[in-house]
Amino acid sequence: MATTKTRVFFTQILTQLMREMIDAGLNPVFDYIKRSTEEQQRMFKAGLSKCDGIKKVSQHQNGKACDIYFIKNNDINWNADLYKKWHDRWTKLGGKQVITWDPAHFEV
């Protein structure tokens, strides 16, 4: 497997996590895997990110972060235990710990 912190490594463990989520019967949606500077600035201005996209670059801009949402009854399921379970698995695969204010965020 590629070394940590690379886009290849990120893609490998993200693919593994996706397989496991689908095998567990979940319906994950993967969003914002690669974000432009303009999109990052829009999200920063809206209070949805702490990275402005220029002075502080998001891992989304580097292609090393993804937001994952679980869909239940056509809506996002924000069950904290569900996110904790998958973040625990993510860290075992080599990803970073959960950002407490952003449970959908997975990065290396």
| Confidence class for position 99, pLDDT limits 50, 70, 90 | confident
Residue 2, pLDDT above cutoff 80: no
Residue 54: pLDDT band with limits 50, 70, 90: very high
User: Average pLDDT, whole number, for the chain?
Assistant: 92
Rounded-to-10 torsion of CA 92, 96, 98, 99 = 180
Q: Among 69, 97, 93, which residue's Cα sits nearest to residue 12?
A: 93
Q: Is 41 left (phi over 0), alpha (psi -120 to 50) or beta?
A: alpha
**How many other β-carbons are positioned within 10 Å of the β-carbon of residue 92?**
9
pLDDT in tens, 12-35: 999 999 999 999 999 899 998 889
Q: Where are the chain's structural domains?
A: 7-35+64-107
